[in-house]
Chains A and B, each alone.
Chain A
Amino acid sequence: GQQLNQSPQSMFIQEGEDVSMNCTSSSIFNTWLWYKQDPGEGPVLLIALYKAGELTSNGRLTAQFGITRKDSFLNISASIPSDVGIYFCAGRRNEKLTFGTGTRLTIIP
């Protein structure tokens, strides 16, 4: 099945640094979502975006729904150890959600 192109595939950063990741698609989506998955757990919804151009924040997280409706980015400011995990973007069209390939975030002590 289709998957969204998500980059980077992995990131190694130091605590306190800002993080930026993005997701692109050849198709238009009505909703963009960002999830975080901890090892052995199901993904947890972080931010949902419903309108093209929308910029939404949730604490240290900021995400935007691209104007073309084919892309989205997620920024994490001042990273902390609990930010470690895999981040997935997801685009929704009707009943179905298509996921990105994931960005694995590792924080170097």
Chain B
Amino acid sequence: SQTIHQWPATLVQPVGSPLSLECTVEGTSNPNLYWYRQAAGRGLQLLFYSVGIGQISSEVPQNLSASRPQDRQFILSSKKLLLSDSGFYLCAWSIGLQYGYTFGSGTRLTVV
């Protein structure tokens, strides 16, 4: 069966520090991969998605970037965090265009 792993679960980082969040999927090949951000008490905002290795589409211009170095690995990064980068970050995967996404358990990032 397919599983998605996301880590760390929580992270507290100072303003100006770098960021690296990792997401890996097991049990499937060539998944579509996604990074979402959820502000407290609000909906999910799509940040990046990838349909293949090295292919990244950015939805919202911001202080973040994404990379997909391997088929089942998706990384969210920042060179210098801002206070506004705080939030709940969710990774998700899907296969094909028909089905829904499966989400990871999320990373709660607090920038102080």
Contact = CB atoms under 8 A, between A and B. Distances in A.
Given A95-B51, A102-B42, A45 B102 contact: yes
A40 interface: yes
B12 interface: no
Contacts of A43: 44, 90, 103
Interface string B36-59: 100001111110010100000001
- Interface size class on chain A is 20 to 34
B105 interface: yes
Contacts of B72: none
Contacts of B59: 1, 96
Interface majority SS on A: helix, strand, loop or mixed?
A: strand
Interface in B11-53: 32, 34, 36, 41-46, 49, 51
B98 A98 contact: no
A90 B92 CA distance: 14
B30 to A, nearest CB: 12
B46 A98 contact: yes
A79 interface: no
A45 B32 contact: no
Contacts of A94: 97
Interface of A: 1, 3, 30-31, 33, 35, 40-45, 48, 50, 88, 90, 92, 94-102, 104
26 contacts: A1-B60, A3-B43, A3-B45, A30-B97, A35-B100, A40-B108, A42-B6, A42-B90, A42-B104, A42-B105, A43-B103, A45-B101, A88-B43, A88-B44, A90-B100, A90-B101, A95-B32, A95-B49, A96-B59, A97-B46, A97-B94, A97-B100, A99-B44, A101-B42, A102-B43, A104-B41
